[in-house]
Amino acid sequence: MERVEKRAVQDDVHETGLVAHVSTLQTESDLTDNQATTDALGAHEDAPDYHTFSKQQLLQAVKKLANEPDAVKAERELREIKSAFDELCEQERTHAFNRFILDGGTPDSFDYRGEPIDAQFAQLFRQIKERKTQQLREEEIRRNENYKKKLELLERLRHLVDSQDVNANQFEQFKALQSEWKSIGAVPGVHSKTLWANYHALVDRFYDNQSIYFELKELDRKKNLEAKIELCQRAERLLTLENIQQALRELNELHHEFKHIGPVPREEKEAVWQRFKAASDALYARRDAYNKQVQEKLQENLHIKTGLSEQVQEFAAFQTERIKEWNQKTKAILELQKQWQQVGPMPRNKGKEVSKKFWSAFKTFFNNKNAFLRKLDIERKENLKKKQELVQRAKDLRESQEWDATASEFRKLQQQWKEIGPVPDKHREKIFAEFKGHCDYFFERLRNSKSEHENQLAANLKAKEEILNRMEQAIADGQVNAELLSELKNAFESAGEVPRSASGNLRTRFRQAFENLVQAIPDLPEEEKNRLILENEIGELKSGPDAEKKLQQKEQAIRKKIAKVENDITLWKNNLEFFARSKNADSLREEVNRKIETASERLARLKQQLKMLRTVA
């Protein structure tokens, strides 16, 4: 009996060491690495591309992280958000600097303080960093406390093992110490292996010393077997769980429990371990297949986004002076952005560079467009000022009655309006309506005036034709006198303008009728008749178009006639001296004298006409 019990105790020691070894290897090393790999891949799957976020979206993401219990985990994601946020801040600072220089500022006087959202982001960033530091400090304190507790527990376990009083109560104390050891959390890594080695050595010694309680130990092993079989079943059920990350996290917890459950009957030991290991391996194989699929998808996404980042580069260098072309390019680049956002995440080691290349060109395009729009806005504001001046000018002219000159001025204003470029959209319709209203108002007045003027011209024509009829009838009736002549002449001249098409014939008819009336006045000296006719002619010239030019031409014509008559008189007087030395020349002298007398009278009339012309002119 003693030999059997001793062999059983040795089996206990062997099994305890084996379980400790295998569990430690699978759980503390391999499983930790597997979990880290899974978490990293899960991060690729779950984490968004923060470089596509706006500042407000990034702030909301940080606010969410501020409530994450695990500050260490939150801080890892925070680094990605911080990188995207800093990039946006730098772009805004560059934009503000360019606008400052464009407005006439100097680089040395530029002072950019950012936006209120920047301060909110910085405050949350510091809170998370400080909380991470605090958690790490607290975790270090806890681990050191746990280390002290486990050292104390090892002393108690050593005291129990070294005790010479072997009884049932001692085994219960041992189980209590085991439970207490399990409940104590992690210790600093530098002490972990040593603690586990000492712990298992003391456990082995205890079972060596407890051979008397073999049957009790066998019962405990059966309970341990039941517990481990349940863990195997739970591990096998994890294979049906759709979320692979959740399944691996739960498997990690199962490994932790499996590790802390004591030994099982030797004949069941390998079987239960292989069953648990088979479930674990199957889940890891599923994990590996999933990881491979994820990696392939990440590589595919990388290839697609690399192509998109190359396509968007041409937009960074785009420049034009036409808003329509900017809008066409904007539509095209937004389509590329839509395609980019529809593609999933990329491997982080390469994706960050591709993402930065894409969004850098994307933002450069919109920075250039914004610069163009600012320039366009300045030009449109200048155009607005110019058109406002035209509106004021049109307003000032709208009541003018200088129809021809004002109409010409309005046409010039309309041409200038066309030559001025566009104005800001919010003013375009209103200012055009104002300008058009003033123009329409004047030209409507002009049309009404022309209609009235044409009616008046027709009435004037009718009145003048009636006056001419009276003049011609008076000649026919022989009822002509100076008073009637003056009355009809004044009535004709005061009747106003007539249509231009009838003006020439009407004036010729009047001139002829007036001369006929003058000639028909009885007892009117010839000299007076000529004077009246000349006065009428001069009056017509003065009231007609190009009056000054025509009066000058009339004066020149009279002067030429005077010069000719004077030359003729001089010639004839010279001839009289020649005739005085000739015999039988009386008849010739008499004829020449008559010519001289007639020419002298004509010369007097011409000089009188010239005098009258100068007086009137």
> pLDDT, tens digit, for every residue of 522-545?
777 777 777 777 777 666 665 666
> pLDDT, tens digit, for every residue of 222-265?
888 898 999 999 989 988 888 888 999 999 998 988 888 878 88
Quote the pLDDT of residue 36.
40
Residue 131 has pLDDT above 90, yes or no: no
Quote the pLDDT of residue 335.
92
Residue 422 has pLDDT above 70, yes or no: yes
Q: Which residue has the tokens 């290839």?
A: 303
**578 vs 581, which has greater pLDDT?**
578
∠ CA 366-372-378, rounded to 5°? 135
Quote the pLDDT of residue 18.
30
Domain positions in the chain are 1-46+211-304, 51-209, 313-379, 548-617
Binned at pLDDT 50, 70 and 90, residue 551 comes out as low
Quote the pLDDT of residue 201.
86
Q: Give the residue-averaged pLDDT of 378-389.
A: 91
pTM for the model stands at 0.43
**304 vs 62, which has greater pLDDT?**
304
Quote the pLDDT of residue 258.
86
Quote the pLDDT of residue 197.
87
Cα dihedral 276, 278, 281, 285 sign: negative
Residue 221 has pLDDT above 90, yes or no: no
> pLDDT, tens digit, for every residue of 324-346?
899 998 999 999 999 998 988 88
Q: Which residues of 510-536 are buried (b: 16+ CB within 10 A; e: fewer)?
A: beebbeebbebeeebeeeeeebbbbbb
> pLDDT, tens digit, for every residue of 488-507?
778 877 777 778 787 778 78
Contacts of 100 (CB under 8 A, 6+ apart): 110
Q: Give the residue-averaged pLDDT of 403-424.
A: 90
Distance CA 466, CA 203 (A): 148
Quote the pLDDT of residue 544.
60
